[in-house]
Structures are given as C-alpha cells and as structure tokens.
Amino acid sequence: MINDLDYVINHNPSIYLDIDNYCRQLGIEVNIELFKLKQFKPYPYYIKEYYESNKVEFKSTPVVYFAQVYKNYFNMELTDYDLMFYYEGNIAKFLNKLEFEV
C-alpha cells in the first residue's frame, strides 16, 4: 500500500502512464483520477482535491453546514448569514460555528 501518494507522483510522474499502459496490456478499460481526499476532522466531511487541476469537490457535507465548511477550506471569514439555515420552513441559526481542522 502506498502511504504517501504525493511522494510517488512527484518522484515518478510517469506513474499514471505506467498504470494506464499496464491495464491496456491486460485488456482492462480504466478511468484514472489522481486526487487527495482530506477530512474536516472530527466530522465525516471531506474535500476531494484533484492533482491535475485546481478543481475541488466537497463530499458528505450536509447542506446546513456547507457554508461553514466551504469558507473554512478557502480561509474566508464567516458571517452571521453563514450560520443561518432553513429548518422545517423556518429560518434557524447556529449559535456556535463548527470547529475543525483539515
């Protein structure tokens, strides 16, 4: 098992081609995406960072917490509106912001 994918990719940039060529030799069709999955600890919310672009995807983040997770990841300041959400048709507001580390 590879413990540090950053090391492997940075020290062997042809690894993507090696895997693709090997799969072709075996007659296996594959789609390879290189990404890093980070957790917003201690919660089960994740960010998927792609190596080949600046694209990111937020995974398993509940809608009511999305603004807090998004702004934390991009180092933006939270506002009172970021703590507001709808609950059963009513506007509600979190009293405390989420505390986590990436």
- 29-61 pLDDT, tens digit per residue, is 877 777 889 999 999 999 999 887 889 999 999
SS3 assignment, position 59? strand
Mean pLDDT across the chain:
85
Confidence of residue 12 (pLDDT cuts 50, 70, 90): low
SS3 assignment, position 41? strand
**pTM check: above 0.85:** no
**Could you tell me where the beta strands, DSSP code E, fall in the chain?**
35-39, 46-50, 56-59, 84-87, 90-93
For residue 77, pLDDT beyond 60: yes
Q: Is the dihedral of CA 5, 7, 9, 12 positive or negative?
A: negative
